[in-house]
Amino acid sequence: MIRPATPADVPTIVSLIRALADYEKLTHEVVLDDDRLREHLFGPRPYAEVLMAEVEGRSVGFALFFHNYSTFLGRPGIYLEDLFVLPEHRGHGLGKALLVALAKLAAERECGRLEWAVLDWNEPSIRFYESLGAVAKKEWIIYRTTGEALAKLAERN
Protein backbone atom coordinates (compact mmCIF):
# COMPACT_ATOMS: atom_id res chain seq x y z
CA MET A 1 0.00 0.00 0.00
CA ILE A 2 1.21 3.50 -0.85
CA ARG A 3 0.05 6.42 1.28
CA PRO A 4 1.07 10.00 2.10
CA ALA A 5 3.29 10.35 5.15
CA THR A 6 2.02 11.91 8.36
CA PRO A 7 3.98 13.63 11.16
CA ALA A 8 3.93 10.33 13.08
CA ASP A 9 6.03 8.79 10.27
CA VAL A 10 9.03 11.08 10.81
CA PRO A 11 11.07 8.61 12.92
CA THR A 12 10.46 5.90 10.33
CA ILE A 13 11.39 8.26 7.47
CA VAL A 14 14.63 9.13 9.28
CA SER A 15 15.37 5.42 9.74
CA LEU A 16 14.72 4.76 6.04
CA ILE A 17 16.92 7.72 5.04
CA ARG A 18 19.73 6.26 7.15
CA ALA A 19 19.21 2.85 5.51
CA LEU A 20 19.37 4.50 2.07
CA ALA A 21 22.59 6.29 3.02
CA ASP A 22 24.05 2.99 4.16
CA TYR A 23 23.11 1.36 0.83
CA GLU A 24 24.68 4.27 -1.06
CA LYS A 25 27.81 4.17 1.14
CA LEU A 26 27.10 7.75 2.26
CA THR A 27 26.27 7.39 5.96
CA HIS A 28 29.00 9.93 6.78
CA GLU A 29 26.92 12.60 4.99
CA VAL A 30 23.72 12.14 7.01
CA VAL A 31 23.38 14.97 9.53
CA LEU A 32 19.59 15.44 9.56
CA ASP A 33 17.57 15.53 12.75
CA ASP A 34 13.98 14.48 13.33
CA ASP A 35 12.68 17.88 14.45
CA ARG A 36 14.04 19.75 11.45
CA LEU A 37 12.71 17.10 9.05
CA ARG A 38 9.29 17.26 10.74
CA GLU A 39 9.27 21.05 10.31
CA HIS A 40 10.33 20.81 6.66
CA LEU A 41 7.73 18.17 5.81
CA PHE A 42 4.77 19.25 7.98
CA GLY A 43 5.47 22.79 9.22
CA PRO A 44 3.85 26.02 8.05
CA ARG A 45 5.91 26.01 4.83
CA PRO A 46 6.51 22.42 3.72
CA TYR A 47 9.53 22.02 1.47
CA ALA A 48 8.95 18.40 0.51
CA GLU A 49 6.43 15.57 0.64
CA VAL A 50 6.77 11.86 1.31
CA LEU A 51 4.91 8.78 0.16
CA MET A 52 5.23 5.68 2.31
CA ALA A 53 5.21 2.07 1.07
CA GLU A 54 3.67 -0.35 3.56
CA VAL A 55 3.51 -4.11 3.86
CA GLU A 56 1.17 -5.54 6.50
CA GLY A 57 1.01 -2.17 8.26
CA ARG A 58 4.80 -1.70 8.41
CA SER A 59 6.53 1.08 6.47
CA VAL A 60 9.27 -0.52 4.37
CA GLY A 61 9.97 2.16 1.76
CA PHE A 62 9.50 5.79 0.89
CA ALA A 63 9.69 8.42 -1.82
CA LEU A 64 10.64 11.98 -0.81
CA PHE A 65 9.88 14.58 -3.47
CA PHE A 66 9.23 18.26 -4.09
CA HIS A 67 8.13 20.55 -6.90
CA ASN A 68 10.46 22.26 -9.30
CA TYR A 69 9.58 24.32 -12.36
CA SER A 70 10.43 24.00 -16.05
CA THR A 71 10.69 27.38 -17.73
CA PHE A 72 10.84 25.67 -21.13
CA LEU A 73 7.62 23.74 -20.52
CA GLY A 74 6.03 26.55 -18.52
CA ARG A 75 4.83 23.91 -16.04
CA PRO A 76 5.77 22.55 -12.64
CA GLY A 77 7.53 19.25 -12.28
CA ILE A 78 8.22 16.80 -9.50
CA TYR A 79 11.77 16.07 -8.44
CA LEU A 80 12.21 12.74 -6.68
CA GLU A 81 14.99 13.26 -4.14
CA ASP A 82 14.96 9.77 -2.64
CA LEU A 83 13.32 6.46 -3.47
CA PHE A 84 14.15 3.54 -1.22
CA VAL A 85 12.74 0.14 -0.32
CA LEU A 86 14.32 -2.01 2.38
CA PRO A 87 16.38 -4.81 0.77
CA GLU A 88 14.22 -7.62 2.12
CA HIS A 89 11.16 -6.07 0.44
CA ARG A 90 12.65 -5.44 -3.00
CA GLY A 91 11.42 -7.32 -6.03
CA HIS A 92 7.76 -7.19 -4.97
CA GLY A 93 6.71 -4.08 -6.89
CA LEU A 94 6.97 -1.47 -4.12
CA GLY A 95 9.49 0.73 -5.93
CA LYS A 96 7.33 0.61 -9.04
CA ALA A 97 4.22 1.37 -6.96
CA LEU A 98 5.93 4.43 -5.46
CA LEU A 99 6.92 5.69 -8.93
CA VAL A 100 3.44 5.02 -10.33
CA ALA A 101 1.91 6.95 -7.41
CA LEU A 102 4.29 9.85 -8.10
CA ALA A 103 3.46 9.78 -11.81
CA LYS A 104 -0.25 9.90 -10.98
CA LEU A 105 0.36 12.81 -8.62
CA ALA A 106 2.35 14.58 -11.34
CA ALA A 107 -0.53 14.09 -13.78
CA GLU A 108 -3.10 15.33 -11.24
CA ARG A 109 -0.99 18.42 -10.57
CA GLU A 110 -0.49 19.02 -14.32
CA CYS A 111 3.27 18.62 -14.07
CA GLY A 112 5.37 18.47 -17.20
CA ARG A 113 7.86 15.94 -15.90
CA LEU A 114 9.04 13.67 -13.11
CA GLU A 115 12.80 13.49 -12.72
CA TRP A 116 15.50 12.23 -10.40
CA ALA A 117 19.19 11.37 -10.21
CA VAL A 118 20.81 7.99 -9.66
CA LEU A 119 24.37 7.13 -8.70
CA ASP A 120 26.31 5.95 -11.76
CA TRP A 121 27.35 2.68 -10.05
CA ASN A 122 23.80 1.72 -9.09
CA GLU A 123 23.15 -0.66 -12.00
CA PRO A 124 20.09 -2.39 -10.46
CA SER A 125 18.31 0.96 -10.08
CA ILE A 126 19.38 2.15 -13.52
CA ARG A 127 17.97 -1.02 -15.12
CA PHE A 128 14.79 -0.66 -13.07
CA TYR A 129 14.25 2.98 -14.11
CA GLU A 130 14.96 2.23 -17.76
CA SER A 131 12.50 -0.69 -17.66
CA LEU A 132 9.81 1.85 -16.72
CA GLY A 133 10.64 4.09 -19.68
CA ALA A 134 12.91 6.61 -17.92
CA VAL A 135 15.69 8.12 -20.01
CA ALA A 136 19.11 9.18 -18.69
CA LYS A 137 19.92 12.83 -19.42
CA LYS A 138 23.65 12.29 -19.89
CA GLU A 139 24.24 15.70 -21.44
CA TRP A 140 23.55 17.41 -18.09
CA ILE A 141 26.08 17.72 -15.26
CA ILE A 142 24.82 18.33 -11.73
CA TYR A 143 26.53 21.12 -9.79
CA ARG A 144 26.22 21.60 -6.05
CA THR A 145 27.48 23.97 -3.38
CA THR A 146 27.21 23.07 0.29
CA GLY A 147 28.69 24.01 3.63
CA GLU A 148 31.47 26.57 3.53
CA ALA A 149 31.29 27.03 -0.26
CA LEU A 150 27.58 27.84 -0.01
CA ALA A 151 28.18 30.27 2.88
CA LYS A 152 30.93 32.05 0.92
CA LEU A 153 28.74 32.30 -2.17
CA ALA A 154 25.91 33.79 -0.09
CA GLU A 155 28.27 36.48 1.24
CA ARG A 156 29.37 37.68 -2.20
CA ASN A 157 28.31 41.10 -3.47
pLDDT band at 73 (very low <50, low <70, confident <90, very high): very high
Mean pLDDT, the chain, integer:
96
- The helices-and-strands tally (H runs, E runs) of the chain is 5, 5
pLDDT digits (tens, 9 = 90+) for 117-141: 999 999 999 999 999 999 999 999 9
pLDDT of residue 157: 84
For 142, phi then psi, to 5°, come to: -85, 130
Q: Residues with catalytic annotation?
A: 129
Domains of the chain (ranges; CATH) run: 2-155 (3.40.630.30)
Give mean pLDDT, residues 14-22.
Answer: 97
The percentage of the chain sitting over the pLDDT mark of 90, rounded to a whole number, equals: 99
List the alpha helices (DSSP H) in the chain. 10-23, 34-42, 94-108, 123-131, 147-155
Is 88:105 a contact under the CB 8 Å cutoff?
Answer: no
Q: How far apart are CA 92 and CA 41, in angstroms?
A: 28
For 2, phi then psi, to 5°, come to: -110, 135
Give mean pLDDT, residues 96-113.
Answer: 98
Q: Shortest CA distance to 2 belongs to which of 59, 52, 61?
A: 52
Buried b (16+ CB within 10 A) or exposed e, 115-154: bbebeeeeeebeebbeeeeeeeeeeeeeeeeeeeeeeeee
Q: Which residues lie across from 1 on neighbouring strands?
A: none
